Structure 1
């Protein structure tokens, strides 16, 4: 928590501790964004953007799984009526194809969304979620905190108390 001290000298203590968003994994305050493993000061964040996961070869996986599932079912047909051993054999032959195809369909239906921060030095993927609504709420809270910080910074610059070279 030592990173929190001095993270935002422009804001009053009350403004700096104002919580814009909080859940189990993320906390957005006037000082910065605190995730499970890292603290990102608001003053360093220049841009916040979202990106949807790029799902590759989904239709190829679905088609290959479907095509390979048919011979597996045909081979398993000889085991129908053989009791539990026959059922387990059919399940063993078809399960890998169902898992690969099912995983491909799931990635189409529920893609992941990423929240990125851009600073002067780097872009970093900070959060991942399958809920676009959660990511958007976090992004709005961060933008609100950045706006508050920039407003205070502009007021101090106008008064001549701060020299900003950027």
Structure 2
């Protein structure tokens, strides 16, 4: 698909569920902050959850493995053609806590943006939960702007979320 720091980013599938589960467990603080708890099927949900009207053909769960595909360092979950046909939405960016604050997330997002631009994307959207101000600052540093707010309901909590957008130059 594309590369980050010389490591290939791969599309995750059923063969990666155990590595994804391990990453989700290492990121339990984020999962609890956003969803109220670490759900036992969180890894499968990352691979399978879709917005209305989309199919698995539109779903991309990009995994960034450490050199030698030993450990999953991060995941970026995205769907093409949502909410507009020429846009993508990022459903999740999760980086192993031991690899945060060193620019890995920014490089992962930058490589993803370059790749989707090559796929004809005109923009990228995402949401950030209000209780996650660090994430909002991260995305704003990447050039994303808040375009509105709404409510998000999860099985355990209700979140006020900020809607963000970044247009991509051709």
Do both proteins adopt the same fold according to a TM-score greater than 0.5, normalized to the shorter chain?
no
Q: Please state which structure has a larger fraction of its residues in helix.
A: 1
Give the structure, 1 or 2, with the largest relative contact order (CA under 8 Å, sep 6 or more).
1
Normalised by the shorter chain, which TM-score bucket?
under 0.3
State TM-score, norm by structure 2.
0.24
Larger radius of gyration: 1
State TM-score, norm by structure 1.
0.24
Q: Please state which structure has a larger fraction of its residues in strand.
A: 2
